[in-house]
Structure 1
Amino acid sequence: MTSIQHVSKAANAKPQVRQRNASPGAKQKSDRDQAHQPEATPSRKAANEAKVFASHEWMEMLGWIFLLVATQLVMIIYTKRCTNQAPLPLLLCFAQFAISAILSGIACSFRKGCLWAPKAVLLDVLPLSVVWTGGFILFNAAALHMSPGMVNVIRCMEPVATVSVGFLLGHRFRWQVLATLLPICGGVAMASSSGGSISSAGVCFAMLSNLAFCCRTFCLQRLQRNKLNQLDDLAVFFNVSGLSTFLMPGLELAVEASEVLPAVQSLMSRGRLWSFGSDMLASSIAFFFYQFIQLLVMSKLSPLAFSVLTPIVKALMIVTLTLCYGDNISAFSASGIALSVGGGYLFTRAKSVTEVAKKAA
């Protein structure tokens, strides 16, 4: 009896199955699902890949932030130690570029490609070397007269120098870019009003270093427009360092010749000559790695990620140096630092958007 009931139930179920299979609505639904399924999978896959790429880029950027802050911090600490022992910023800068020329030359020897700039390219490398070297000479001079933390606060006004030089060269900027200069200038004024040791000479040297550093971008763009240029970033830095090493002794003799001998005698009388030499070597090695990592960052990160990276590194450097050198930073000054760094981010963001719009046009 039970088997008969099972057979009858199975017989009654077969027509229902056939009716469901023969139903046009079910068939259309199944066809739609099959048609949509291959399209949805790649889109979800692409979205997941984009999320993974974005998270990977941010993790990579955090690593570069750590390396940039660490190498720049070591460079500034030993630079300040050198200038405290002997006020010879030109001699220190000569050592920094000489060591960089040696180390970058060694690094270039492991890579294929052009190393020495040909004569047709040398005329474009020369102004780049002048402003690059001049920027660090002025930076070392500013560190001699002022707290490193406050030097970096004044360095936040580099976008103002960029716009000024751009106007002189015939560049025009959108109002969105110019508007970002207000929080930058206002923030620096707030931070400088009640924080850190500050001097008129230090501010002057730091502002002039901003002018020199911003000219690097325009000189580098001129070099990149040269069709005969086959130098990669590391080779460019090698040639810049080599030219600086070649030109610096003449400048050293003209400016600091009368100060070198008394400074050396003073170091010897205090038994600090070897300490000064080791500090200069440490500053020079850190200088090379800081510049080398900057070159790597520019080539590995997207423009947007780099625009985020620069103000973050400046903010961390200001805070770290302030704590390291014991500067008294009030809440008002801290707000100014945050405002100027935020303005620096808005400046780089607005400038990159403008450049993208120009290329699209």
Structure 2
Amino acid sequence: MQSNAFLLSPPHCSSSSTWYLRHTDFIYRYPNFRLNSYLPKRISIHGVSVPSSSTTSLTYTSLSTYSNSCKWNSNTSKSGRHFEAIKSVHETSPPSSSSSSNSLSQRLELGVLFCLWYVSNIYFNIFNKQVLKVYPYPVTISLIQFAIGTLLVLIMWSFNLYKRPNITKSQLVAIVPLAIVHTMGNLCTNMSLGKVSVSFTHTVKALEPFFSVIISALFLGEVPTIWVLSSLVPVVGGVAMASLTEASFDWVGFWSAMGSNLANQSRNVFSKQFMVKKEESLDNITLFSMITILSFALNVPLTLCMEGVKFSPSFLQSAGLDVRELCVRTLLSGLCFQAHQQIAYMILQRVSPVTHSVGNCVKRVVVIVSSVLFFKTPVSPINSIGTGIALAGVFLYSRVKQINKPKRSE
């Protein structure tokens, strides 16, 4: 709460005379100010208590009560013919109706972002699975997805859709580990989707809280409470139950999903350490943009070493693939990948990490259900119960984390 004071020296006038403001610049800039006569010891202006003086006060009023004239108090001395202009903090505070409308618009905007986050993630998994079914080269697919994301980031910076950052050398060095684990996380996810069903991949990825607790304890010194550990029991038990009854179970797909959990949670821990350093800290969207560009650079040599050049038109035609359909679906999966990642960071800027975690849990439920319906994945009753228990455990973990903050070891 601030109040700005202006000291003006008016011409001499008697107590009964009226002095009109002749300074057009002042009137133009502050049309809602008026002169009042001598005030008591303390006055309240729009709920703000202001000390009075022996001089006449110039107070901010609404347009409806604006007066074109003002009277000087006869007690004003010759040497003190000044008046104090007090700008009410109400000028910077929106009315209650405006505040409620802003709050409503913010909630609507947040709701739209959550819907876009879920929809983009659903289509990313569907298009990705369709591509990996006929084109089993997950490293190449990861490279293409990072290339599309890099192109979108460069377009965003070139057209000033988002401010281009000035990255220092120390910031770049700190971001490299984030890019490495981000690259490994996306690669492991694609490897898992290529081997098992989408629903099973996301069921295994529900174990993210388990890895989060372990990595946070090792690197951040966060000691989990007994309630946090208890909430992990249904998560682990549910994933184990779903794995034992999964029709498309594959060890490569299972361990790839586990590797994705490890990489993603390591990225979160490194991000926390990065954001703590104010001299290196960046906003979430800029940080993700830099991670995307570096991940693309890291993925180029990795792709050449592991799979070679497998996306040339001649290779695709020799493999008997529909080049046009494959390219369209690959492009769509890359766009959806970048969209759901970018929107996730936008939501994280607007809500708390716990709310974001709960939203991520709901998103996983939506993705599992939609993928089962789209691909008509056979699901046994025990498998469904196991998946439900695991997801319920993730939700419980999020709520417990909100109630019981982790203690940091000294």
Q: Give the TM-score range, shorter chain.
A: 0.7 to 0.9
Aligned to 2:386: 336
Q: In 1, distance between residues paired with 2:337 and 2:107?
A: 25
Whichever residue aligns with residue 397 of structure 2, its letter is F
Task: Say if 1:55 and 1:261 are closer, same or farther in 2 by CA, change over 3 A.
Answer: closer
> CA shift at 1:62, angstroms?
4.6
Q: 1:330: how far off?
A: 2.8
- Matched with 1:106 is 155
Contact 2:224–2:407 (CA under 8 A) maintained in structure 1: no
Is 2:114–2:347's contact at 8 Å kept on the other side of the alignment?
A: no
**Which residue is equivalent to 1:97?**
146
What is the SS of the residue equivalent to 1:156?
helix
Aligned equivalents of 1:81, 1:267: Cα separation in 2: 18
SS in 1 for 2:379: coil
Query: Partner of 1:187 in structure 2?
Result: 238
Q: Which residue of 2 aligns with 1:156?
A: 206
Identity, in percent, stands at 24
Is residue 310 from structure 1 mapped to residue 360 from structure 2 by the alignment? yes
The question of whether the paired residues in 1 share the 8 Å contact of 2:201 and 2:257 is answered with yes
The aligned counterpart of 2:287 is 236
CA separation of 1:80/1:56 partners in 2, compared to 1, >3 Å: closer, same or farther? same
Q: Deviations over 1:233-261 (max 9, x none)?
A: 2211121111111121111122112x738
- Quickly say closer, same or farther: Cα 1:102–1:176, change in 2 above 3 A: same
Aligned equivalents of 1:100 and 1:262: distance in 2?
20
Q: How far is the alpha carbon of 1:231 from its aligned partner? A: 2.5
Higher share in helix: 1
Moved more, 325-334 or 173-182: 325-334
Q: Is the 8 A contact 1:105 1:238 kept in 2?
A: no
What's the TM-score, normalizing by structure 1? 0.78
- Taking only aligned residues, the RMSD between alpha carbons, in angstroms, comes to 3.1
The aligned length equals 313
User: How many angstroms does 1:111 deviate by?
Assistant: 4.9
Give the structure 2 partner of residue 178 of structure 1. 229
- Measure, in 2, the Cα distance between the counterparts of 1:83 and 1:127: 27
Provide the rounded CA distance (Å) in 1 between the counterparts of 2:392 and 2:101.
Answer: 27
Label 1:186 to 1:60 Cα distance change in 2 as closer, same or farther (>3 A): farther
Q: Is the 1:80–1:144 contact (alpha carbons within 8 Å) kept by the matching residues of 2? A: yes
Seen in structure 2, the aligned counterparts of structure 1 residues 162 and 356 have a Cα distance that, compared at 3 Å, is closer
Which amino acid letter does the alignment assign opposite residue 129 of structure 2? K
Q: 2:307: which partner in 1?
A: 256
Distance 2:218 2:135 in 1: 37
CA distance in 2, matches of 1:315, 1:261: 33
- Stretches of structure 2 lacking an aligned partner (at least 5 in a row): 1-46, 48-96
Separation (CA, whole Å) in 1 of partners of 2:190 and 2:343: 20
In structure 2, give the amino acid aligned to 1:187: G
Specify which structure has the bigger relative contact order, considering alpha-carbon pairs within 8 angstroms and separated by 6 or more residues: 1
Structure 1 counterpart SS, 2:175: helix
Task: Judge conservation of contact 2:181–2:267 (CA < 8 Å) in 1.
Answer: yes
**1:143-176 superposed Cα distances (whole Å, 9 cap, x missing partner):** 1111111101101011111122223324321111
CA contact (8 A) 2:275 2:282 kept: no
Distance 1:229 1:108 in 2: 20
Aligned to 2:224, the other structure's residue is in SS state coil
Structure 1: 5+ residue runs without aligned partners?
A: 1-37, 39-47
TM-aligned CA deviation for residue 294 of structure 1: 0.5
* Deviating more after overlay: 190-199 vs 203-212: 190-199
| In 1: Cα distance, 2:104 partner to 2:381 partner | 33
